[in-house]
Amino acid sequence: MKPLVLLLITLGSVYATQSTPLYYYNNGKKVYLQKDITRSLSSDDDVYIRSNNTIKIKNSVIAKFHSKEQAQTLLKGYFYKRLYGTTYQIQTNSSQEAIELANKLYESGEVFFAQPNIAQKAFRR
């Protein structure tokens, strides 16, 4: 009986988290994601499906700011490193937080771009 209750609670929480559409911005357009529950449960990384491609979202955001001063002001409280110019990698605690932060930065209009750090399997052509 207890395993059944635990399973129902787990499925309910998964359903609740999927009720809000997951997306990030790429070239100003929303890219919708669907969490791949079967793969996410078997690994430490969150795995998503984007346009029939499987991707992993790392616990960080890549963003390009208008100036270094602006980046330093907006990123107070975050661990970050400058990659080059005004492009930064911002660490988060989870892939979900990375998606939310990237969307918040992009929607603020304070950045040229902001998106979660994505790992995708390379294929030979």
> Chain centroid to CA 89: how far?
13
**Whole-model pTM above 0.75?**
no
Q: What is the pLDDT of residue 121?
A: 65
* Residue 83: both structure tokens together: 């990659």
Place 67 in a pLDDT band, splitting at 50, 70 and 90.
very high
Q: What is the pLDDT of residues 71-121, one digit of tens each?
A: 999 999 999 999 999 999 999 999 899 999 999 999 999 999 999 998 876
What separation, in Å, do the N-terminal and C-terminal C-alpha atoms of the chain show? 51
The residues spanned by each domain of the chain are 2-120
Mean model confidence pLDDT for the chain: 79
Pick from 112, 68, 101, 74: nearest CA to 86: 68
Using CB atoms within 10 Å of the CB of residue 97, give its burial: 0 to 12 exposed, 13 to 18 middle, 19+ buried: middle
Place 39 in a pLDDT band, splitting at 50, 70 and 90.
low
Q: Are 106 and 114 in contact, with CB atoms under 8 Å apart?
A: yes
How many residues can be counted in the chain?
Answer: 125
